[in-house]
Amino acid sequence: MASRSLTEDRQSTPAGISRLVDLMAERYGPFPEEPRLDPAHEVVFTILSQHTSDTNSARAFSLLMERFGTLESVARADVADIEEAITPGGLARIKAPRIKEVLNLVLERNGSLDLSFLGEMPLEEAKTWLRELPGIGPKSAGIILNFSLGLPAMAIDTHIYRVCRRLALIGPKVTVDKAHGILEAAVDPDQVYQFHLSFITHGRQVCKAQRPQCRDCVVASDCPSRDQFMAEEQDPVVEPGRGNGKAGTKARSIKRLPHSPSAEEGTP
C-alpha cells in the first residue's frame, strides 16, 4: 500500500503528469495541426458535438454553414430551418433552438459575434462568461477557450475522466466538474492542449471503459489500477507493448484531432 501511495503522489505532481503526457504523445503522435475555428463558430460546433461522434458533428456543422453562410444568418433563421440543416448530426430538436438562443444571447450581450475579447480576459472570467450561455458547461467552455484561443483551459470528457481516475490523478469521488479545476491547476499550461489530445486518444484506443488493454498500455508501469484489471482477466502480467508476442507495437495514430470541424472518423 505504501508503494502505491508513493506512485500516486509522484504521478500527481506537474512533473509526473508531464511525463505521462510525453509518453502518450510519443505513442499516439505526432498530432496533426488543424486550422481552428474562431470562438463564435467554436461555440456552435461545440454544441453540435455534444452527445454525438466527431464525424456527425463535423457533418452537421458543414451543412449548417453551407445552408446559412454566416452565424448572423443562423441567428436570424427559424429554428425549424436550423433543425433541418443539422439533422444528420443527431439531437437536432434540442440543438437547433439552443444554437439560435446562444447566438442571439451573444449578440445581445456583446453587440456582435466576435468573441476574440475572451482571449484577453483572465481565464476564470472567460470561463464564467461562456458558462453563462445555455448548454455551455465546464467541458464546452474549456474546449472553446483551448481549441479556439489557445488558452490553458481544461476540457474533461468521459474518456479523459476515466483515464485520470485510473491513473489516480484525481480521487475516486471527484466529480467531472471538480476534475476540471484540479487538473487545470496540476497540468503545465503549455501542455494542456497535448494533455487533452493524448489522454482522449489513450481513453478511446487503449484505456477503454469495459475492457482496458493493459498489455498495450504505454503508461501501465505508472498505473495503480493495472494490477486490478489484470487480475480480473486472470491472465499473466506482461510488459506494455509485448502482448500477443508482438513487441513494441505502436497504437493507431489519429488522423484527425478529436473535436475537429474536419473530422472524418471518431467516436464520442
DSSP 36-85: PPPHHHHHHHHHHHTTS-HHHHHHHHHHHHHHHSSHHHHHHS-HHHHHHH
Confidence of residue 260 (pLDDT cuts 50, 70, 90): low
**Alpha-carbon torsion (71, 77, 82, 85), positive or negative:** negative
pLDDT at 167: 96
Least reliable range by pLDDT among 69-78, 80-89, 143-152, 236-245:
236-245
pLDDT at 5: 37
- 3-class secondary-structure state, position 107: helix
pLDDT at 15: 77
Indicate the average pLDDT of the chain: 86
pLDDT at 234: 62
Residue 207 scores a pLDDT above 60: yes
Burial state string for 67-77 with b = 16 or more CB within 10 A and e = fewer than 16: ebeebeebbeb
Any idea of the CA torsion for 108, 111, 114, 116, to the nearest 10 degrees?
-90
Instruction: Give the number of other Cβ atoms within 10 Å of residue 232's Cβ.
Output: 11
Report how far residue 187's alpha carbon sits from residue 170's, in angstroms, rounded to the nearest whole number. 12
pLDDT at 30: 87
- Looking at residue 99, its amino acid is I
Which domains are present in the chain? 2-32+156-240 (1.10.1670.10), 39-149 (1.10.340.30)
